[in-house]
Amino acid sequence: MKKRLKTIWVIIVAVLLLVALLQMDGAALWYSLRHIPLWLVFAMLAMQIAVQLLINLQWFQISRLVGTPIAFWDMFYINSQGALMDSITPGVKFGGEITRGVLISRFAKCSGEGAAAMVALQKMFSLSALFFVVLFTASGFMGSVAYVAVILLLAAFVVAFAIPHKFKERLQGKGGKVRGFLVTFFIQLEGVRKNKGHCAKLALLSLFIWLLYPARMYLIAIQFYPEANLAQIAAITFTAYMVAMLPIFPGGLGGFEATMSGLLVAAGFIIADAAIITIFFRFATFWFVMLLGLAFIGAYKIRRKGDGVG
């Protein structure tokens, strides 16, 4: 059923994009497309592979820190399955995280609460870095309000790492799956907190991964407009991603493209350039990830069958 809905949605989006493109000047689109050099195509795809490996490295390190180690390529398989589920579920990617949690429990042979706590821990690092970057990017538009928000976010992050032991003591011994999850989460958080060096590395890794998105968008944008402002491009990129997180469109399809192309036009790019930039960026960061995931999942299953693993 989910695959059928995904197929229907892809067809709808493809038709809408085709209609939108047909409304544009074909010569202008072709002229814009020629602005993308071949080296940039390969560079963007290579950088996306690097991003997927870095994200997987973060998951791999967290699994080791919380005492449920999973092999690097097993974790890559889990993340590939999660990424595919992300593409067919709307908004904040709960479907992908549920898939990751189930597979983590299976591969690490841990409880469902333990797997869910590990997923929550990774999301804490990832989303904290995202919000920090978004707020910092917005500082040019929001002024001191954004700086206050960044300070509050950092304070919340510090508090979260300062009090897990007290929360664990208060929750332990009480029944219920939610409490079981919270106990496990705070136990894992306390374990990560004790490894301050690894904790700092995980936070910096999340920050670096998110910064790569506007950096790549900027590389594309300057092919069309060399004077493009990096801060403005970063704001456009993250605004599009925030819209894609709304629980409306599977994988953020449609909402992301409309937001990014619209903001690019508002920033002074011509419609044809905005369309090509959006399509190219989306292919490299979304559709290519799906193709990469499908290829890896197929190769992984073939390898396991070859090794005699069911």
Between the CA of residue 168 and those of 99, 120, 124, 181, 214, what are the distances in Å? 26, 16, 18, 11, 38
Is-contact 17 257, C-beta < 8 A?
A: yes
* Average pLDDT rounded to a whole number, residues 276-292: 89
Please tell me the predicted confidence (pLDDT) of residue 142: 47
* Average pLDDT rounded to a whole number, residues 248-258: 66
Please tell me the predicted confidence (pLDDT) of residue 238: 86
Q: Check residues 173 and 105 and name the one with the higher pLDDT.
A: 105
Q: What residues have CB less than 8 Å from 99, skipping those under 6 apart?
A: 78, 81, 82, 85
